[in-house]
A and B are shown apart, each in its own frame.
Chain A
Amino acid sequence: MVYTTQAIKRKGLRLKKIVETVKISPATLAVICCALIAGWLIFLTPIHGYSDNGDFQRFMATNDLYSLHQVQAGYVVQQYGLMRYYNPLHLEHLTVQSVAIQLAVSLNRLFYSHDRFDIRFLGTVHYILYLGGVAVLVKGLVGEKRRLRNYLIAASATLFIADSSFTLYFNSFYPQAMTFILLLYLVGFGLLISRYKAVNKWLTVGFYLSAAALLLVHESTSLLIIGILLMSVGILRFPNRQWIHGTAAVVTSVLLFTCWLSANNITPEVQAMNKYQALTQGRLFATDQPEQIAKTNDIDEQFSLMKGQSYYPTAYTALAPQADYTKQNLSQHYNLPWLIREYTEHPRQFNLLLNRAAKNMLILRPKLTGTQEKQGDNKPFQKTTYFSLFSYVAGAYYPKTYGFNCLLAVAIMIIYASGVLRGLRKANQQLRSHFWLVLGLLSVVVLVPPVTIVLYGMANLVTHLLPVAICLTLTGLILLSDVLQHRLWRHSDEA
């Protein structure tokens, strides 16, 4: 059968009709899809999730949990022990992550057991929050109208949001789960607010609450402050607003304070770890002649042998990074200004690290983990390929240089800026809000990697750069929806 243009048109019309007769809005459809795709993965036994790569201990101990028995690395564990009596470490390090875990623990106590913890309760907490996030985001992207292109946008959004690389985090103690969910809320609320002509109070409160929560997930998410502030400009510059200028100042300072709080909410041990790895997996990592660091400060040249070493070495270490000798002879002899100066003096090496970070940016799964439970004789560190088209394509085909990200950011900003300039006369509020939103997201994409390298080195890149990958993809989704809904080049026919 030969498809003529007319035939295609007819077919399109028929599809349109089908879509119009279906009573489910695109947002609801996306939520249902995500619920099915993710629910199957995380709730049905054998469960899927991410296994411990050594980071769980910290989150578990402060939340009254412990491992029931020694587990071989690379397997997901479903059951944990729940402490019944006094725990001296109880909520010692409070983050949004611990709040989620505590919620799961109390649900577990209520419905399941007082001394066993089923990780699926944490999965449930994440799952419910996540579905809300999906609803907010997709509604923000496409609105309520049941049109074919809206369904297309919702489908591509689902492809990204329901990717198993993200949803597997729900059945684990990694903070990335909350980072991901809260970013969906943040951008979703930002988009929803821009759909109204006047400021919607509740949506604005939602936006700022998710922003504050996002800042408090992990010390590295406090770096998202720059993006959040830029996004908030779009909201604070809203016309017909009921608030006065003072509110803007208060909101901004509260956000800044939250950021400061989160950045300082770390134990001295983690602080020492970050400092150590900023040198060994950062400055020393980039260079062929690491002994040259001895030239600009009084560190013994021999410490260049620590190049690439982690603060918690996996097997052997000639000298433990935690030892007093290391502290006295290495850690006390450098600081952040020195690191920054070193990088500015060696831009080529910094560039090398940036590109390396860009290479790792779209690898969304944590290293040294498996996604399956131990069953029979399945091998450890097995990774499921279930619903991971997006992460596979992004990981394999997205260009792996930092410069490309910058150029892409500039290109997208030019598109939006020209759109805004063109729409200026027509007072196109939505596009203007989107401009600030996209600017905020892209500022994260451009600025967070270099700051991460200076502060943390190449250590734990997945935790530190996951927000960047999500921001980049969300930018793509916003751009897609704006293009498909003709807001950028033609008259918006939705307005």
Chain B
Amino acid sequence: MKRKSYFGWLLLAVLLVIGVERTAIQAEATDDQPVLLVYDSKNVAEHGDLNLDRCQRLLTSLGLRVRTVQLSQYHQQILKNSQYQGIITMVNWAQSRSKNPIFKRDRARFNGIKLHIGPNLQAEERQALGGTFKTLTHQQLNLHQGRARQPLSENKTLLVNNQLADNALSIGQLTSQTQPSTVYSYGVVRKQMGFLPELGKDGLSMALAGQLLTRLFRLPSRTHRPILTITGITPYTRLDHLQRLIDQLASRGFPFALSIVSVAQNTDLKAFHRYTAVLRSAENAGGLIFWSPATETGTQRLNEPDLRSVFQIELASLGADRVIPVGVSAAGYWNRSVQRQRAVLSQATHVLMLPDQPQKLEQPPAEPESAVTNSQRFDTGIVGIPFKAFETAAFPEKIKFAQPTALLVAMPARQSEIDDLMQQLQSSSFQWFDPVQSHLKTTLKAAATSYGYRSGQYLVNDEPITDLDGDVANFSDPHQRVAEPSWMNQIIQWQSQALLWLFTGIGLLLAGLLIVGWRIYRGKFIHSRLNKDR
């Protein structure tokens, strides 16, 4: 009996300690807490993985940390062990109807911010949102934000809010193209609860999602101008085309950024310096450079130290040619892997997150992702949205971006495509982000070197560079760089050659002796025999 009572006291003490710790954790600043993103399925067949990636990048660009877990992998400890600002439920595959009673219960108990994206809205969520909902099937819908308008490209079944509750706020509207008079709300925010019918690939849909998240998470509302970014530039890109593009962008006054891929080997070749010369001309024309990692290949991915060294080597060779990246641009999955975050992404203040490549059903990913992924946040996370996503939008200039945004244009492959792009840019009336006007300040660290940018001024280790072209090493004669081999190597090389000569010498000598011998032989025997015969 006594033992039992001791045990009871001990239990009480432990509980007390835990309780105190809990309140201590809660006292921390809430904005450092991550957001829990729970999705039902990646639904690769319908590119649901891209929706998920979009959501993660959007949250990162709003300065929120994200922890992502699949519904089936969710267990009680996840919500218990740490504090979250909010829970986002994402339904990618309505038909699958995957359920997890533990998550359902935990979400109902959770009293922070909640957001539901997609169909299969649960009863308690409906209750929190109020109003009535309706499922729209096979309808051509238009999305509106003020005057800006865009038809939804995916004609899928959509759950929408058709009657708004009191004190609920509608973010964006939907109208049917057949019945323009009926208006549904797109995003809904009511107190701590939010709802989005989808997070599609249309530009306006992304912009509205950003606005909704700002409102829901009570972030300071700011309007960001998009950065025009050319992606997919490699050393193998036709440099004449790239130069022409840069010249045209500069002459028409479009501020721009380039997302470039570099190489870690062969940086002593002329071709590399040709490439950096063009990139320097972009810098001189006011363009920003984002360093982008090269395509990952092979069955075994690099570990963190190797990755870091590749990153440092590439930046060092670019920096030596005065190509100074202002930040890093990488596909969304880079911010879901700890080693890539630590080795590369966390070295930059400005990180541009590009869309992931769609996964393929028949091709499993080379590197399986962990069950729970953590996306970190950056000083400035920039979400990349393809420029094409706004092609169908009317009055795109009225679209408000609540988060830092880059509009991505793939590097044109042909001369004519450059001209087309210029026309598109002229006709679209976006207000582009100008780094000089908006006093952009960035820092990128690689090993002991830090590269900086302060409203048009480039810095290396905090030393301003006055003339980008001025102090680039003269590389006209590549032969000067070849180091003389050491004397030991010379001897080893010489030894092989010497044996060769020795052999040739002996061979010649033997051949000579053979001839002499043959002569003597002939003189002694054959001649004498001939003489005898006579």
Give me the interface of A with B, judged by CB distance under 8 Å: 54, 57, 73, 288-291, 300-309, 312-320, 325-326, 329, 355, 399-401, 403-404, 407-408, 410-411
CA distance A333 to B514 in the complex (A): 53
**Could you say which of A316, A317, A325 has the most chain B C-beta atoms within 10 Å of its C-beta?**
A316
CA distance A54 to B299 in the complex (A): 8
In the complex, the answer to whether A318 meets B271 with C-beta atoms within 8 Å is no
Ranked nearest first, the 4 interchain pairs of A and B with the lowest CB-CB distance are: A316-B294, A318-B234, A401-B496, A318-B294
Residue of B nearest to A404 (CB): B500
Residue of B nearest to A71 (CB): B300
Q: How far is the CB of B497 from chain A (nearest CB, A)?
A: 7
Among A288, A303, A399, point to the contact of B482 (Cβ < 8 A). Answer: A288
**Could you say which of A303, A306, A317 has the most chain B C-beta atoms within 10 Å of its C-beta?**
A317
Chain A contacts of B237 at CB under 8 A? 302
B123 within 8 A of A: no
CA distance A403 to B306 in the complex (A): 40
In the complex, the answer to whether B234 meets A319 with C-beta atoms within 8 Å is yes
CA distance A155 to B324 in the complex (A): 65
B358 within 8 A of A: no
In the complex, the answer to whether A399 meets B235 with C-beta atoms within 8 Å is no
Chain A contacts of B266 at CB under 8 A? 304-308
Stretch at the interface among B35-43, B90-98, B142-150, B256-264: B256-264
CA distance A318 to B295 in the complex (A): 6
In the complex, the answer to whether B272 meets A401 with C-beta atoms within 8 Å is no
Task: Tell me whether A305 and B496 are in contact in the complex, defined as CB-CB below 8 angstroms, given that A291-B270, A316-B295, A407-B503 are known contacts.
Answer: no
Among A313, A319, A399, point to the contact of B500 (Cβ < 8 A). Answer: A399
Chain A contacts of B504 at CB under 8 A? 407
Within 8 A of A (CB), among B240-299: 261-266, 269-272, 274-275, 293-299
Chain A contacts of B269 at CB under 8 A? 290-291, 304-305, 307
Q: How far is the CB of A321 from chain B (nearest CB, A)?
A: 9
Excluding A302-B237, A312-B297, A400-B496, 18 further A-B contacts by CB distance (< 8 Å) are A54-B298, A291-B269, A291-B270, A302-B274, A304-B269, A304-B270, A304-B271, A316-B294, A317-B295, A318-B261, A318-B295, A319-B234, A319-B261, A326-B236, A399-B495, A399-B496, A401-B500, A411-B503
Pull 10 A–B residue pairs with CB atoms less than 8 Å apart, ordered by A: A302-B239, A305-B235, A305-B236, A314-B297, A316-B310, A318-B295, A319-B295, A320-B297, A399-B495, A410-B507
CA distance A364 to B272 in the complex (A): 36
CA distance A315 to B314 in the complex (A): 14
Residue pairs across A and B with CB atoms within 8 Å: the count is 114
Among B239, B297, B495, B497, point to the contact of A317 (Cβ < 8 A). Answer: B297
Residue of B nearest to A358 (CB): B496
B478 within 8 A of A: yes
Q: How far is the CB of A368 from chain B (nearest CB, A)?
A: 11
In the complex, the answer to whether A318 meets B263 with C-beta atoms within 8 Å is yes
Among A313, A318, A400, A403, point to the contact of B262 (Cβ < 8 A). Answer: A318
In the complex, the answer to whether A315 meets B478 with C-beta atoms within 8 Å is no
Chain B contacts of A400 at CB under 8 A? 496
In the complex, the answer to whether B503 meets A316 with C-beta atoms within 8 Å is no
Task: Tell me whether A401 and B497 are in contact in the complex, defined as CB-CB below 8 angstroms, given that A308-B266, A315-B296, A316-B293 are known contacts.
Answer: yes
Residue of A nearest to B495 (CB): A399
Chain A contacts of B238 at CB under 8 A? 300
Chain B contacts of A316 at CB under 8 A? 264, 293-297, 302, 310
In the complex, the answer to whether B294 meets A317 with C-beta atoms within 8 Å is yes
Q: How far is the CB of B511 from chain A (nearest CB, A)?
A: 9
In the complex, the answer to whether A302 meets B507 with C-beta atoms within 8 Å is no
B1 within 8 A of A: no
Task: Tell me whether A320 and B295 are in contact in the complex, defined as CB-CB below 8 angstroms, given that A302-B271, A305-B235 are known contacts.
Answer: yes
Task: Tell me whether A318 and B298 are in contact in the complex, defined as CB-CB below 8 angstroms, given that A290-B269, A404-B496, A404-B499 are known contacts.
Answer: no
Chain B interface: which size bin?
35 or more
In the complex, the answer to whether B236 meets A318 with C-beta atoms within 8 Å is yes
Chain A contacts of B261 at CB under 8 A? 318-319
Within 8 A of A (CB), among B478-503: 478-479, 482, 495-497, 499-500, 503
Chain A contacts of B497 at CB under 8 A? 401
CA distance A73 to B300 in the complex (A): 8
In the complex, the answer to whether A325 meets B297 with C-beta atoms within 8 Å is no
Q: How far is the CB of A349 from chain B (nearest CB, A)?
A: 15
In the complex, the answer to whether A302 meets B235 with C-beta atoms within 8 Å is yes
In the complex, the answer to whether A407 meets B298 with C-beta atoms within 8 Å is no
Chain B contacts of A290 at CB under 8 A? 269, 271
CA distance A252 to B365 in the complex (A): 49
CA distance A308 to B294 in the complex (A): 17
In the complex, the answer to whether A315 meets B302 with C-beta atoms within 8 Å is yes
Among A288, A309, A329, point to the contact of B479 (Cβ < 8 A). Answer: A288
Residue of A nearest to B307 (CB): A315
Q: How far is the CB of A136 from chain B (nearest CB, A)?
A: 33
CA distance A317 to B274 in the complex (A): 19
Among A302, A317, A319, A401, point to the contact of B275 (Cβ < 8 A). Answer: A302
Among A300, A307, A313, A411, point to the contact of B236 (Cβ < 8 A). Answer: A300
CA distance A107 to B106 in the complex (A): 56
Chain B contacts of A411 at CB under 8 A? 503, 507
Residue of A nearest to B511 (CB): A414
Among B272, B275, B298, B500, point to the contact of A315 (Cβ < 8 A). Answer: B298
Within 8 A of A (CB), among B443-471: none
CA distance A73 to B299 in the complex (A): 10
Residue of B nearest to A323 (CB): B295
**Could you say which of A54, A318, A400, A404 has the most chain B C-beta atoms within 10 Å of its C-beta?**
A318
CA distance A57 to B297 in the complex (A): 15
Chain B contacts of A301 at CB under 8 A? 270-271, 274
CA distance A304 to B239 in the complex (A): 14
CA distance A305 to B272 in the complex (A): 7
CA distance A314 to B295 in the complex (A): 11
In the complex, the answer to whether A399 meets B298 with C-beta atoms within 8 Å is no
Residue of A nearest to B272 (CB): A305
Q: How far is the CB of A437 from chain B (nearest CB, A)?
A: 23
Q: How far is the CB of A315 from chain B (nearest CB, A)?
A: 5
CA distance A205 to B366 in the complex (A): 48
CA distance A318 to B239 in the complex (A): 15
In the complex, the answer to whether A315 meets B236 with C-beta atoms within 8 Å is no
Hey, what's the 0/1 contact readout for B397-434 against A, CB within 8 Å counting as 1?
00000000000000000000000000000000000000
Q: How far is the CB of A443 from chain B (nearest CB, A)?
A: 19
In the complex, the answer to whether A315 meets B270 with C-beta atoms within 8 Å is no
Q: How far is the CB of B267 from chain A (nearest CB, A)?
A: 9
In the complex, the answer to whether B297 meets A315 with C-beta atoms within 8 Å is yes
In the complex, the answer to whether B236 meets A291 with C-beta atoms within 8 Å is no
Task: Tell me whether A289 and B236 are in contact in the complex, defined as CB-CB below 8 angstroms, given that A316-B264, A399-B496 are known contacts.
Answer: no
Chain B contacts of A54 at CB under 8 A? 298-299
Chain A contacts of B262 at CB under 8 A? 318
Q: How far is the CB of B56 from chain A (nearest CB, A)?
A: 23
Task: Tell me whether A314 and B298 are in contact in the complex, defined as CB-CB below 8 angstroms, given that A302-B271, A308-B266 are known contacts.
Answer: yes
In the complex, the answer to whether A318 meets B235 with C-beta atoms within 8 Å is yes
**Could you say which of B239, B264, B269, B478 has the most chain A C-beta atoms within 10 Å of its C-beta?**
B269
Chain B contacts of A306 at CB under 8 A? 236, 266
Residue of B nearest to A316 (CB): B294
Among A288, A326, A407, point to the contact of B507 (Cβ < 8 A). Answer: A407
Chain B contacts of A408 at CB under 8 A? 503
